[in-house]
Amino acid sequence: MLEDITKKKLENGLREVKKSQTLSILQIPQMEYFEDKERRFKPEFNNSINWKKIEKEEKWGGYDKVFWFRKNIELPENIGEERLFLRVSLEKVGDLDVIPDYPESLLFVNGQFVQGIDKYHKEAIISPKIVQENVLRIYLRSWTGLRGELNYTFSGLELYKIEKYSQKYYFLAKNILDTIDQLNENDIVRVKLLNILNESYKRINFTKPRSKEYYESIKDSYNFLQEELKKLRNFKMDSPKVILTGHSHIDMAWLWTVLHTREKAQRTFSTVLNLMKEYPEYIFMHSSPALYKFLKNDYPELYEKVKEKIIEGRWEATGGMWIESDSNISPGEFLIRQILFGKRFLKEELGVDSNVVWLPDAFGYTYALPQIIKKSGMKYFATTKISWNEINKFPYDTFWWKGIDGTKILSHFITTPDKNNYFYTYNGMVGPFTIKGIWDNYKQKDINDELLLVFGWGDGGGGPTYEMLENYQAIKEIPGLPQVEMGRVEDYFAKLEERIRDKNVPVWDDELYFELHRGTYTSQAFVKRENRKSEVLYHNAELLNSMSLKLLEDFEYPKNSLNEGWELLLLNQFHDILPGSSIREVYEDARRDFEKIKGIANKEIERAISMISKEIKSEEDSLVLFNTTPFERDEILELENGKKTLVRGIPPFGYKSIKISNLEQKQIDEKMIVKEDYIENRYYIIEFNEKGQLKRLYDKENKREVLEEGKLGNVLQTFEDKPYFFDAWDISPYFNEKMKEVTDLIEVKVEEETPLKGVLKFSWRFYDSTIEQRVIVYNHIRRIDFDTHVDWKEKQVLLKTAFPVNIRSTKATYNIQFGNIERSTTNNTSWDIAKFEVPAQKWADLSEANYGVSILNDCKHGYDIKENVMRLTLLRSPIEPDETADRTDHTFIYSLLPHAGTWRDSQVIQEAYKLNYSVIVKKIRKNEEGNLPDNFSFIKVNDFDVVIETIKKAEDDDSILIRLFEDKGSRKEKVEIELFRSIRKAIECNLIEEEEKEIAFKDNKIVFNITPYEIKTFKVWF
Ligand SMILES: [Zn+2]
C-alpha cells in the first residue's frame, strides 16, 4: 500500500519532468499550403502555384489528397549547436496516443528530406547540420488518408529544444518504474530499484519548475541514479538476452493502395535515416525488395541513402521474398518466383544475400514451404501469426519445421507481447513489459536463451520512434530484466542455429495451419480466379516460348516482357491482396493489374504459337491443338459448323495438327441420355429431384452408389456469415448453425445430348441472386463438371456445395503446392475441430481402400470434408473492409470425379490439370514447305507419379529449365525425362537456378531418382 503511494508519487513527478524538458523557441501559427493534384514527391515548384494561407484552428483535408505546406522560419541568434525539435501539428491532438487517423507527411528542411510526420512521429529531430544561415525553409508533403474523419484542424508548428538531463532522467526513471512493475514483489532487485529511484526523486527541487535550480537538481538526480545503478551491476543478467531490431511492417496494400504504400515507404524510410543519425546503435530491417525497387524509381536520392546504410550494415535488407506473400492460395511456382525475384534483387542491387524467409503476418503456411525455402538457398523461417490461433496454442516457438518431403527448416516465432492483445506482435514496443514479456512467453527456454524482438510501428506509423530508442538506452542500464542488444535478424538466426545445435529441438511435421481468417480462401472471388488463370497463362507462356526457342531459328525468348508480368503478379500475391482482406480501391487496382498481367502472357503465347504454327508442315488447312499439360490428352473439339469431334492422343507439352477434312468424319458411338431429371452416359446414372439436387449418382463401371443412401448431392447450402470481427477475413466456428438450401429451381433445360457430351442446365433463385449451373458429362472422361454462373447480390452470406458421399475414411487428401496433405475428417481433437475450413489448390479427395471421390475446381480454395460430407466453398460476401466485395457476377467450374481405388490410383491429378489448362487451338493454312512435324512432344516423363510443373528458359543462359516434383509420396528410381532431341549438357540446380551438379544423360534422356514429394530442377542444353 505504502509502496503504491510511492509509485504514484513518482509517476506524477515524472509527468512534470517530461513536460518541463521542452524549451520552446518559437511558435508558428501560420503556414501556406496548396493541394497538389500531381502528387509530386519533391518540393520543386514553379511560380504558377497558388499558395494560400492557413491559420491555427483552420480545417483542411479531404479524401486521398496530397497537400504541400511551407514556411520559412528565422531562428533566434542564440540558437547554438544543440539539436532542435520541430513539432508538427497538422491535426489537433489531445494527450491520448490512440487517434484513429492522422495525416502522413514528409518533412523537408532547406531542400533536404528530414523525416516522416505521422501519428507516432509528431516531432522531428532537426540536426544542427541542416540549419543554414539561421533559416529553416520548411516544406511538408501531406497525404490525407482514405478512411475515418478527414477534417483535420491545422494547429501550427513549434520549434523547441530539449533540456538534456531532464530527458535522460525521464527515460531512465520511467523505465526503472516500469521494470518495478514487471518484477516479483520479493525480488531484491525490485526493492533496490524502488529505493534508489525514490532517493533520486527526493533530490529534485520542484519549487520552481523550469528554473535554473530545478534543472540543476535534475542533473544531480540523474547522476545520482546512474551511480546507484552502477552499484547494482552485479544484479545484471548475462542471460537471457533480447536482440532488438528496428522494423516497420508495411503492408503493400490493405486499407490503402500500393501507390500509397510507395509513399508510406518514403516517409518511414526517411524517419529511420533521421533517427539513425542521432542513435548510432540503431539497426533497422526491411523485408520487401519490391518496395526498394519502387523507392529506387520514385525517389532515387532517398534510395541511395538507404543503400548506403545497407552497405554500412545498419540497415538490413532481408526476407527473401519479393513481397511478404500469401501461402495458402499462392501456387507453388509463385512462391519460388517470390524468392527468385526477391533474392536476385537483393544480391544484384544491394549486394546482400538473405537466408531468412520473413512472413510475420501471412494467414497460414503451406506444408510445401520448408522444401521451397531450403531449395531456394534459404535457411530460416520467421513469423508471429500462428500465435493468433483462436483455438489451440501452438506448442513451440523454436522448432524444426518439417515439410511434406521431410525437409527441416529452423523456425522461430517472435514472442513479443502486445499490451492490448493475446497474441504476439511484429509491431513491438521497447520497454520492460516487452523485454520481460518476450522471455516469459517463450516456450523453448531449455534450448535457447536469446530472443529476437522487432520494434517499431508499421503501416505508415513510421517504424521506431526516438522514445523507443531512448528506452533502449535506459534499459541497458537497468538490472532485473533480460539483457538487451541491437542486432540483425540474419545474425540472430545464424547464432540461434549454433546455440541449438545438439539440443533437443522439437519438430513440427505438418503445415502451419492458421486457426483464424479462414474466409480469406474465398473472399474477393475474382482475385482468386484471376490468379488461377494467370497461373495457367504464365505456365503456358513460358512453355510455349521455350518450345519456340528450340524449334525456331532466331527466336527471341521474351524474358523482359514476361518478367514484367511476373513482378506484377508477385506483387498481387501480397498477404492482404490475394486473400481478399483489403479495401475496394485495392481491388480496383488488382483488376487493372490482372488485365495487364494476362495481356502480357496472352500476347507472348499468341506470338509463340503463331510462329510455331507457321512452320508446321500441312497438306491442307488444319487445326493445331497445343497441349500444355504434362499428360497426353483427348479433347472434344467444336467445329465452326457446330459439330463436335473427339481428338485423341494430343501429346504432352506438345501439339497435334489435324486436317480439317479428317475431323468431320470422326464420330463415336457411345451412350448419352439427357432428360430434365436424368442423365446417363458411359459411366454414370444421375438422377435429380424437383429442386435440381442430385438424388442418385450411380457409377456403372464400378457398380457403386456414390452418394450416401437417402442423402442428396450437389446441395447448394447457404449460411449466415457474420463473424464477430474481421469480416472479410473470418468464417466463424458457428457459421454452420444456420443453413438454408438453395431450392427455388426456376428452370431446367436439356442443352446438349450428343454421344460426346451431355449438358443439363439448372437455374435457381436465392433472394435477390440467381445461380445458373450446367451439369456436364462426357463419354471420354469420368469427370462431371458443374459449370456455374452466379449473379450474387447477398450480403454476408456464404455459399457452399455439399456432397455426402458413400465413403468411410478418417482422412481426406487435399492438393497443395507441389503435393498434397492429409487432414482429419473427424472432430476427435481440438486441432481437428479448428480445421473446419481448410485451404487447397486444385482438388480434394475422400477415398477408402478401393473407391473414392474427388472434387476439383478451376478457381476455388476453401474446402471442408468432415465425416463423409465433402464441401467446397463457392462464395462469400463480406462487407468490411470492402463494402462491395463479391456482390457481382461469378463464373467458376467445380467437378466431381468418382473413381476406383484411392486418389493415387485415380486420374485426379491429370483431370485437375485438364480442367484448368484448356487445349489451345490454332487454325493453319496448307503449308507444304513447313519443316515442323504434325505431331510433337517437347518434353515428357515416363512416370505418372512425377509431374513436370514448369518449363522455362533459364534466367541467365540459354538452357531450358525443367522443374518437376513427385506428387504421390513415392520413392522412385530411374525416372526418365525424354526430350525431343539430343542433350548436350544437363545440370541439376536449386529452385532459384543456382547450379549444383552435373547430371548423367544419354542421347535425349535424363535419368534420375526422386524421393516422396521432392522438387527437382534441371537446366538442360539441347
Ligand atoms: Zn501485414
| Chunked mean pLDDT (size 10), the chain, 1022 residues | 86 95 95 96 93 96 95 86 90 63 92 94 89 88 80 94 96 98 95 96 95 97 97 93 98 95 97 97 97 97 98 96 98 98 97 97 98 98 96 97 98 96 94 98 98 96 96 97 98 98 97 98 98 98 98 96 98 98 97 98 98 96 97 92 90 96 74 97 98 98 98 98 93 94 98 96 98 97 98 98 98 98 98 98 98 98 98 97 97 98 98 98 95 97 97 97 98 97 98 97 97 98 97
User: Cα of 147 to ligand 1 centre, how many Å?
Assistant: 18
What phi and psi values does residue 435 have, to the nearest 5 degrees?
Answer: -65, -40
What DSSP letter does each residue of 806-822 carry, written as one string?
S---SEEEEEETTEEEE
CA distance 40 to 409: 45
Give the DSSP letter of residue 845.
E
Ligand 1 centre from 299 Cα, in Å?
24
Please tell me the distance between residue 455's alpha carbon and the centre of ligand 1 in angstroms. Answer: 15
Distance CA 88, CA 664 (A): 78
d(CA 547, CA 951): 9
CB within 8 Å of 909: residues ≥ 6 apart: 815, 843, 947, 967
Minimal CA–CA distance to 792: which of 731, 716, 865, 868?
716
Q: Strands, DSSP E only, in 359-466?
A: 380-383, 398-402, 408-413, 417-418, 421-424, 450-455
Position 661 scores a pLDDT of: 85
| Closest to 865 measured CA to CA, from 785, 800, 799 | 800
CB-count burial class (<10 Å; 0-12, 13-18, 19+) for 7: middle
Output the CA 40–ligand 1 centroid distance in Å. Answer: 27
pLDDT of residue 80: 74
- The set of cell numbers assigned to 379 is 535457411
Ranges assigned E (strand) in 548-653:
622-627, 633-638, 644-650
Rounded-to-10 torsion of CA 978, 983, 989, 994 = -140
Report the relative pairing of strands 356-358 and 380-383 from DSSP bridges: parallel
Q: Residues 6 or more apart from 556 whose CB is under 8 A from it? A: none
pLDDT at 148: 57
| Ligand 1 midpoint to CA 882 (Å) | 17
Whole-number pLDDT of residue 1022? 96
What spacing in Å lies between the alpha carbon of 876 and ligand 1's midpoint? 22
CA distance 610 to 673: 39
CB atoms < 10 A from the CB of 238, how many? Answer: 8
User: Is the separation of the CB atoms in 6 and 176 below 8 Å?
Assistant: no
Q: How far is CA 981 from the centre of its chain?
A: 40
Question: Which pLDDT does position 147 carry in this prediction?
Answer: 65
* Sequence-separated (6 or more) residues with CB below 8 Å from residue 386: 394, 413, 512, 514
Contact in structure between 873 and 917 (CB atoms under 8 Å): no
Residue 311 amino acid letter: I
CA-based nearest residue to 536, from 944, 858, 1017: 858
Q: What does the H/E/C string look like for 895-913?
A: EEEEEECCHHHCCHHHHHH
Ligand 1 centroid to residue 992 C-alpha, Å: 25
Catalytic residue from among 178, 326, 361, 418 = 361
Q: What DSSP string describes 923-983?
A: EE--BTT--B-SEEESEEES-TTEEEEEEEE-SSSSPEEEEEEE-SS--EEEEEEEESS--
Burial of 533 (0-12, 13-18, 19+ CB in 10 A): middle
Residue 253 C-alpha to ligand 1 middle, in angstroms?
Answer: 9
Residue 161 has what pLDDT?
94
Compute, in angstroms, the gap from residue 575 CA to the centroid of ligand 1. Answer: 6
* pLDDT attached to residue 643: 83
Q: How far is CA 69 from CA 105, 149, 322, in A?
A: 10, 20, 35
Q: Pairing mode, if any, of strands 284-286 and 241-247? A: parallel
Q: Which amino acid is at 471?
A: N
Question: Could you tell me whether strands 920-924 and 66-74 are parallel, antiparallel, or unpaired per DSSP bridges?
Answer: unpaired
How far is it between the farthest Cα atoms of the chain?
Answer: 108
How far, in Å, is the centroid of ligand 1 from the Cα of 564?
24
State the distance from the centre of ligand 1 to the C-alpha of 251, rounded, in angstroms: 5
Task: List 1021's β-bridge partners, or say none.
Answer: 985
Cα 252 to averaged position of ligand 1 atoms, centre (Å): 8
Global pTM value: 0.97
Cα of 3 vs centre of ligand 1, distance in Å, is 42
For residue 737, what are the contacts with CB-CB under 8 A and spacing of at least 6? none
Helix (H) or strand (E) holding 384: none
d(CA 339, CA 402) in angstroms, rounded, equals 19
Interior/surface letters 611-621, b for 16+ CB within 10 angstroms, e for the rest: bbbebbebeee
Q: Tell me how far the alpha carbon of residue 121 lies from the centroid of ligand 1, in angstroms.
A: 21
CA 105 – ligand 1 centroid, Å = 22
Which amino acid appears at position 670 of this protein?
Answer: E
- At residue 666, the pLDDT reads 62
| Separation of CA 382 and ligand 1 centre (Å) | 14
Ligand 1 mean position, distance from CA 541 (Å): 31
Question: For the stretch 76-102, what's the b/e string if a residue is b when 16 or more beta carbons lie within 10 angstroms of its beta carbon?
Answer: eeeeeeeebbbbbbbbeeeeeeeeebb
- How remote is the CA of residue 249 from the centroid of ligand 1, in Å? 6
Contact 305, 234 (CB under 8 A): no
Q: At what angle do helices 908-916 and 525-551 cross, to 10 degrees?
A: 90
Residue 665's pLDDT is what? 65
Query: Do 444 and 398 meet the contact criterion of CB atoms below 8 Å apart?
Result: yes
Nearest to 515 by CA among 331, 726, 719, 371: 726
Whole-number pLDDT of residue 420:
87
Q: What is d(CA 936, CA 947) in angstroms, rounded to the nearest whole number?
A: 19
Provide CB contacts within 8 A for 760, sequence distance 6+: 674, 675, 676, 679, 688, 748, 749, 750, 751, 774, 775
- Spatial neighbors of 527 by CB under 8 A, at least 6 apart, are 572, 577, 578, 580, 587, 590, 594
Q: Which residues pair with 862 in a beta bridge?
A: 839
Q: Reply yes or no on whether 361 is catalytic.
A: yes
Dist. CA 880 → ligand 1 center (Å): 17
DSSP H or E segment with residue 136: strand 135-143
Helix axes 289-298, 332-350, angle to 10 degrees: 50
Residue 686 grid cell: 444421375
